[in-house]
Chain A
């Protein structure tokens, strides 16, 4: 097999930080090469060097593609050399059709007039080749997130990419979508495409990889054949220490019912007839972790948003906090009633990325922390420093801009923001999405600690091990309805998945109601 790509002694410095320190990486024809490491280990930085986001001269070291040295001045030059990157955040234009997106910037045209027939013909061929049942004239925004990801791959292939980089491609996919994706990747492998695969999901990494490279603190710790490694070994290489059970076995002491929700129903804002949450009732006691599982579109995030008063569509239902009925019409009401909401997608909903850790962490509880009208900077600094210390946020100071932090640290800032509102009930929506094992473990420990302190926690997660490992009880949603409730002892991955896919009779027993 020939070597497609060689990156030699890549070093990249940011002011005060060495993000990459003498990193080497090579990729063979038809190879599936996984790149793993904790957040901030330098994976994304390395890929940005490869793709020309950081142009030549901005880093030290050499890049060889098919044996010739390349000095990319921009992304386009890297693309022309056959390198395609599918970033974590999709880079499709939602308002344009699938075909338009695939050929964006390279529209077949003569004299500047676009040849639409060719666009749609070629896109259609391409999608067929990948066995994708997608109409190229569909607007991308109308597709599910999984299909969008596949369109992105089609786009990369239309550019004759020989080197394909996938950054956490399965973070938002359901299991069947993951399977489709992997089939496509296996097919590409046969065609000789080399793939660099960044993921935190080690199961997938071992399922697919030929070789695995582990980065830690900007350095290559190991590049080995996947056959000689196992999960525990990779994790210990990533974190530089042996990891115990990542879900500490703790038993929580439950207190009173902290929150009860009865008959919660919500409709989609744009389609007022479509129920997204359908007659959901549950209770959560203080000191208890209620895990919520379900497939994409089961209404998991939606029902939290509704309770929190942030839903833009119609909704109904009753909410009781500490036995008292409350009216929650806005997030402000929810916070006043002691609910905190660590939202999913921290960049869109959680953080103001160009503000500091201090500004972000005090935002929700600003009036309690700082003053009802006049703010006191020193009090905020103290609060922010406490958050950084207790949650182990790795940053130089509370004045560090949150946009420069790694995903795990950003997530800790969001969590800290809500802890500073002194909540009684805490909602966690995908609390560990896109963060590395080490940071995940810290967040799990923190969740347990908060439960011990008497917080009632409702945690939505698409990662089954997480739900099973942390929850005292599990509620499974399917198409907006409660499809099953389990206590920890009864819950197995099979039962939960069966309920999530709608193949399980509703089980009302054993949930302490």
Chain B
């Protein structure tokens, strides 16, 4: 039995090794920028800003992760973001609907288009690359047509709050308390389940010890955010979706099916999984997340422009890939995708602070993407 424990620990180590490597890379990037920007980078104000910048790409990356793990790809999210944001702005500003119908419109459009593309992919057997490449062109065209290529301004303060407001510091601490209690509750539950089923160590002490890191993280995060203005609402939404994504991929049958299909679609099908329906749902989920991201994006800039979200699909894919997602499907984690998005945003943020010219920024981002994946491949071989 000692053997069992050893090997499961070893497995745990290898899987979290990647997360630790990425955290290490993030720290290096942060320290480097902090040093280069004369101590501007790691100030509460900039970190708050950085989290804001991460949220839109991050939300989409979480949906993209599931699409990629299922063995597919979605190139249309940038255009879809422009379309959903544009429709919400038109609903709000031009047609005078309230804020709730506008929000619902953006999310519904995302879901409907996700279902549509997922349907073509799964039931029409058209490769995802082609379906969504078509979407990339078509949805951009659609928003240009609907808005007559004009920017639609947003004046509604409640709507703008989605992208611009902060959660009051006291509320932030309240949320922190709830989160900490949840972490402790899950540690208890895990230890109890292990004991009940006679698997694993079932040691409450170990589990609680393991909970210290996330609890410290929560406290530090709220402290930093509150040192500026509180948690930005987009960041709150991002965190909620990250939790949802984490839950779906780790704790649901649906999530397991996504990995099974990406790992071996024939084996999955013969195990009774409805591959087509799962793929359709994965695209729908990404569509919905894109709708939510569109609201944040539009609210933040207080206007919907037809060229919003250009190249966003590539940022989201890059975030997944930097986070260790295999484009062949079957492999990748939500945590990795979120860290990947944070790394991408950190590069953007830091290089802007350094006033690097655009061409340099693009050169550097491209090189880092390829290097990160290259190192990952080398690491996998040994």
Contact = CB atoms under 8 A, between A and B. Distances in A.
Interface of A: 16, 308, 310, 330-332, 334-335, 341, 343, 348-356, 359, 363-364, 366-367, 370-379, 381-382, 385, 396-397, 399-400, 417, 421
Contacts of A396: 3-4, 6-7
Interface in B248-275: 251-257, 259-260, 263-264, 266-274
Given A359-B256, A382-B198, A397-B3, 6 more contacts: A331-B272, A352-B263, A375-B252, A378-B193, A381-B200, A397-B4
Interface of B: 3-4, 6-8, 11, 193-194, 196-200, 251-257, 259-260, 263-264, 266-274, 330-331
B272 A352 contact: no
B206 to A, nearest CB: 15
Given A349-B266, A381-B197, A399-B11, A334 B253 contact: no
Given A352-B268, A378-B196, A381-B197, A367 B4 contact: no
**Among A354, A356, A363, A376: residue with most chain B CB under 10 A:** A363
A399 to B, nearest CB: 5
B330 A354 contact: yes
A366 B268 CA distance: 12
A382 B199 contact: yes
Contact of B253 (A341, A372, A417): A372
A403 B148 CA distance: 55
B267 A354 contact: no
A365 to B, nearest CB: 9
A381 B198 CA distance: 9
Given A343-B270, A349-B270, A378 B8 contact: no
Nearest to A417: B271
Contacts of A355: 259-260, 263, 330
B264 A353 contact: yes
A367 B271 CA distance: 12
A363 B256 contact: yes
A348 B251 contact: no
A354 B272 contact: no
Contacts of A334: 272
Given A332-B274, A396-B7, A348 B256 contact: no
Contacts of B273: 331-332, 363
Contacts of B269: 310, 331
A218 to B, nearest CB: 18
A332 B257 CA distance: 13
Contact of B264 (A331, A352, A417, A421): A352
B105 to A, nearest CB: 29
A363 B260 contact: yes
**Among A348, A355, A400: residue with most chain B CB under 10 A:** A355
Given A352-B267, A364-B272, A378-B196, A373 B253 contact: yes
A331 B271 contact: yes
Nearest to B266: A349
8 contacts: A331-B269, A334-B272, A349-B267, A352-B263, A378-B194, A382-B197, A397-B3, A399-B11
Nearest to B1: A397
A378 B255 CA distance: 17
B382 to A, nearest CB: 11
Which 9 residue pairs of A and B lie closest in terms of their CB atoms, listed nearest first? A352-B263, A396-B7, A378-B197, A364-B271, A335-B272, A378-B193, A381-B199, A332-B272, A352-B264
A367 B174 CA distance: 36
Contacts of B7: 16, 396-397, 399-400
Contacts of B266: 348-349
Contacts of B271: 331, 363-364, 417
A366 B331 contact: no
**Among A349, A355, A378: residue with most chain B CB under 10 A:** A378
A76 B230 CA distance: 62
Contacts of B198: 382
A376 B11 CA distance: 19
Contact of B197 (A308, A330, A379, A399): A379
